[in-house]
Amino acid sequence: MSSRDGEPRHTRYRQRRKPDARPPDLASLRASLGPPLRPERTQARPESGAKAGDPRAFCYRCHKAEVVCLCSRIRVAANRTGILIFQHPRERFHALGTARIAALSLERCRILGARWSAAGVGLAFEPPARTGVLYPGTGSTPLGSLEPDERPDHLVVLDGTWAHAHSLYRDNAWLQRLPHYALNPSEPSRYRIRQEPRTECISTIESIVCALKILEPETTGFSHLLNVFDSMIDDQIRFHCEREVGGAVSGR
């Protein structure tokens, strides 16, 4: 605290690097992270008004910052089961969101954006015939236990945190009327920088891939969605690591 004209005033303490401290070895750090997964950056989109390489530039296709754009990594898989991603409003431009990976990577995938209203967060929607919702609970049927002729033609996946998913389910009666299905993941989530509440909880993209591998075991290409997901996490770790090292070098 400091004072001016007799009034106390808060100041922010800024820790500085000691003069005799050695700066981090940036070359060694970058070598340990490995080369970028995209050798060339995409051009900045005209809508962003930023120059190529500007960290503020944004890709309006994959909804990621231009420096970590995923578009060149995407490969399209020919799924038969229609995927309907019911997305909470707070997830639309989340830096670590995965719904856009699915929307760009699957032939039959659609994002349904929920909206805020006095009644809660929801969307007026009439699902097509033979649609189910992926929602764990007492009345949910394990997806892997279904016979081929019992499998849904369309599957709704809720996109958001577990609290967001609960809100979407609570505020949308059309969801509650659908057949409910559950997954039994064989391994914990690969979401290394976003905490899941329980070991059996997995991300939106992992849920979609897990469900499609059960519903369409003969269809190929689903595993590549997880490769793109892993690369997104690697990019975020690399970006934050280099930013922290840069801050240490400048004394911030």
CATH number at residue 111: 3.40.1280
In angstroms, the CA 95 to CA 191 distance is: 13
Q: What is the pLDDT of residue 247?
A: 54
Pair (45, 170) in one structural domain:
no
Pair (63, 177) in one structural domain:
no
Pair (169, 45) in one structural domain:
no
Pair (110, 223) in one structural domain:
yes
Q: What is the pLDDT of residue 98?
A: 93
Q: What is the pLDDT of residue 51?
A: 53
Is beta strand 180-182 parallel, antiparallel or unpaired with respect to 141-142? Answer: parallel
Pair (42, 132) in one structural domain:
no
Q: Which domain holds residue 104?
A: 76-229
Contact 83, 155 (CB under 8 A): yes
Pair (68, 177) in one structural domain:
no
Pair (118, 224) in one structural domain:
yes
In angstroms, the CA 4 to CA 23 distance is: 36
Determine, yes or no, domain membership for 9. Answer: no
pTM passes above 0.75: no
In angstroms, the CA 96 to CA 74 distance is: 16
Give me the sheet containing 180-182, strands edge to edge: 109-113, 82-87, 154-159, 131-134, 180-182, 141-142
Pair (162, 131) in one structural domain:
yes
| Other Cβ atoms closer than 10 A to 82 | 19
In angstroms, the CA 206 to CA 200 distance is: 11
Q: What is the pLDDT of residue 186?
A: 74
Q: What is the pLDDT of residue 36?
A: 45
Pair (131, 202) in one structural domain:
yes
Chunked into runs of 10 residues, the chain (252 residues) has average pLDDT values of 50 47 50 44 42 68 88 96 97 88 97 95 96 93 96 97 94 97 80 54 91 97 95 82 55 52
Pair (89, 152) in one structural domain:
yes
Determine, yes or no, domain membership for 33. Answer: no
